Amino acid sequence: MAQQTIGFVGVGRMGGRMGRRLLNAGYGLAIHDPSDAVAAPLVQAGAKRFPSAAAVASEAEIVLASLPTPPIVEAAALGPNGVAEGSRVKIFVDMSTTGATYAKRIAEGLAAKGIEAVDAPVSGGIAGAEKGTVAVMVASSDETFARLKPVLDQIGKVFHVGRQPGQGQTMKLLNNLLSATAMAISSEAVVMGVKAGLDPKMIIDVINSGSGRNTATQDKIPRCVIPRTFDFGFAIGLLNKDIRLCLQEADALGVPMVVGSAVRQLLSIATASEGADADMTELVKPVEEWAGVRVGG
């Protein structure tokens, strides 16, 4: 049986790790990324690099994408030299976070070319992409899901969350809203405790033994904030973008986001003060500055 080739557009921090897992599983890999430094490790591992998304989509029936922003995803799918111009592609799988509006628009544009668009965003960070433990939230027809699952099983734990374009994106935004909220409120709680004279490690130990534990107290704060490494691996600017998309979608659905709006405000402040490329765990820094204390270090 001939080796199946999978296309992959965008092989940066997340895409590169997911692409390597496909190579290790025995798939051929056709990649496109504008960065030589990003593409080189996969090429050395056996991937073939192509000059455009269209060229990748002329090599593979299934093309995955992992890209930073909704406009970049749309350009890669529908723009000049995009996936829509490929001669072989049948299924385009967007593993980025774009929000449902973009997912539906991309699906409509690709459908006109006879290409099925699938939104399948992932959650679990760089470590999860490396280990193959990310959650993959797929919105597609049953038939397409059955075809994609063996491929996506190499990347993480696969969930068929819906059949309509955009439902995978909605699921991802819900997850990131909760992740951001946990980080924001836990930062405020731990900074308050430190200001009151409590030891940050003790604060975390107690919270994690009680009802307040969450993803930030169990992982991000003890691993990235208290030792001051700030290396969780997800940029605060991207998280800010995700929460903005979530609030826009909530507004369109008529769902109030009182707490979510406050989280977005703190994220916007931290993005401005620390820079969009700062780690999401640096969300604690403006709270520390206002309080006049530092957590750990």
Residues involved in catalysis: 172
Residue-level length of the chain: 297
Give the list of residues 6+ apart from residue 147 with CB closer than 8 angstroms, or none. Answer: 62, 91
Please tell me the distance from the alpha carbon of residue 96 to that of residue 100, in angstroms, as a whole number.
11
* Helix or strand holding residue 11 (H, E): none
What are the tokens at 272?
Answer: 């401005």
Nearest to 123 by CA among 73, 161, 92, 88: 161
Count the neighbouring beta carbons within 10 Å of the beta carbon of residue 85: 17
What are the Cα distances from residue 291, in Å, to 136, 189, 193, 279?
39, 11, 11, 20
- Please give the sequence-ordered ranges of beta strands (E in DSSP) within the chain, or none if there are none: 5-9, 28-32, 48-49, 62-65, 91-94, 116-119, 122-123, 134-139, 156-162
| DSSP secondary structure of 91-140 | EEEE-S---HHHHHHHHHHHHTTT-EEEE--EESHHHHHHHT-EEEEEES
Contact 22, 151 (CB under 8 A): yes
